[in-house]
Amino acid sequence: MNIEPLMLSSKEVYVLTGIFDYETMIGIENPFENWLDEEIGKELDIMYDHWREKELLIIKEDEIFCDQQLVEYFSICLTTGFVIEVQINKNNTTEKNVFYFTDKKVIHNTITDVNGEKQCRFRECGIPEVAWQFIYQALQSKNTFSRSNYTFKLPCSVYEKDLLNQPKNNLSELLGYYLDDDDAKELANIICDREELNTVKAHYYIKDSWYTDSIQFVYSQN
């Protein structure tokens, strides 16, 4: 499988769609470098309980994990039928990223720095169904985190539905099978009124703990 490098802020990263395995859990300077084999095995068991194959987006840098913020940044961007602008604030620097999508996969994105200079282009980085599964698997139930904005947990079966194109009433009813009424309505509003969504708390899992990043982004219809 040929994986084209993505240049972002002078870093070379590789994007893979798959699930964690032992090889991705070891390596120089990654979060799992000093773990015992037994610890890695336990962690993999926990991850397999949370994600099925191909539901987790993995971004690697020189065969080790990249900044976890990049993992969240790509997983949230992989939707369908939209242009999405993403802004990430890191070390007092704003990185602006624009993604273009077709109904099947990402066909092109352009990464720019704060001055608007192009940093890279990246093609064909996944399918929307995988991304939506990861997004809502990663955003766990409201009681899980101290900061609970826009956190929902849905089973994999719901992702077989066409969430993006459902009328709001139908979507609310569908989500009502998996969430309480208030959460279902709130999530239906988020999906149907995407232009109004500016910030999402993105949660990721490392060593029995969940961590949170705040990512700002704007949707616009093609």
- pTM, entire model: 0.27
Contacts of 79 (CB under 8 A, 6+ apart): 101, 128, 131, 132, 164, 219
pLDDT tens digits for range 85-132: 444 444 555 544 444 333 333 333 444 445 555 444 333 333 333 333
- What strand order describes the sheet that includes 93-101? 118-122, 106-112, 93-101, 82-90, 209-221, 199-206
Please check whether residue 87 is in contact with residue 77, taking contact to mean a CB–CB distance below 8 angstroms.
no
In this prediction, the residues of the chain whose per-residue pLDDT falls under 50 are: 1-32, 50-90, 95-113, 118-160, 195-222
pLDDT in tens, 70-89: 444 444 443 333 333 444 44
Alpha carbon distance 43, 32 (integer Å): 10
DSSP 144: G
Q: Which residues pair with 45 in a beta bridge?
A: none
